[in-house]
Amino acid sequence: MKFFVDTADIPEIRELSDLGLCDGVTTNPSLIHKSGRNFLEVIKEIAGMIEGPVSAEVVAEDHATQMREAEKLLTLGDNITIKVPLTLDGLKSCKALAANGTPVNVTLCFSANQALLAAKAGAAFISPFVGRHDDVGYDGMNLISDIRMIYDNYDFETEILVASVRHPIHILESAKIGADVVTAPAKVLKSLASHHLTDKGLAAFTADWAKTGQSIV
């Protein structure tokens, strides 16, 4: 499974990249707003930091303007993936961009039917929002299972990019189902390393080592 970090925070991306936990980055207008920086400048800086895909989202709702925005965003780096909403205009833009070899991340997916449409439009990634799905009383993992089954049935190449990840269990269950990618905040990705027995064992090893009075260096 590939790990994308869902952020526009440069230090977070650098830290996760150093840890080997950043195969790509996803951004959205809300994350850019949180950074307090210029949208285009942030995307360009992120694209220059990592080799993996960087999802940059169009903000227009109509196809024609989405295409113009995508053209501008693609100038910011060779690893830019255009992010479009799962609407009819977004799907139209996805098909046009994919036909020209541009990778597209179709976002705000909440049903397997929507995911099927995105795959048929040539999306490189589909972003089902599992956390928001859970929030309204549905099981986000069932959505991932349904998409995985449909994509496997027809050998679609679209990668399942699990989004709106709230906690490590979302990542664990997505990996068990066979999702291709997960995008999560840095805090959630780093929390995967935490376990109380690891902490307990390390404390014991450290205490015993101190009693030897030895030094490796």
Each residue's pLDDT tens digit, 176-192: 999 999 999 999 999 99
Which pairs count as long-range contacts for 110-113, CB under 8 Å and 24+ apart, including other chains?
110/143, 111/143, 112/143, 112/146, 112/147, 112/150
Superfamily designation of domain 2-192: Aldolase class I (3.20.20.70)
pLDDT value of position 34:
87
Helix (H, G, I), strand (E, B) or coil at 7: coil
pLDDT per position as a tens digit, 64-122 = 999 999 999 999 999 999 999 999 999 999 999 999 999 999 999 999 999 999 999 99
Name the residues annotated as catalytic: 83
Say which residues have a Cβ less than 8 Å from residue 178's Cβ, sequence separation at least 6. 148, 160
pTM of the predicted protein model: 0.95
pLDDT per position as a tens digit, 149-177 = 999 999 999 999 999 999 999 999 999 99
Domain ranges of the chain: 2-192
Whether residue 16 is predicted with pLDDT greater than 90 in this model: the reply is yes
Please state the φ and ψ torsions of residue 137, each to the nearest 5 degrees.
Answer: 95, 10
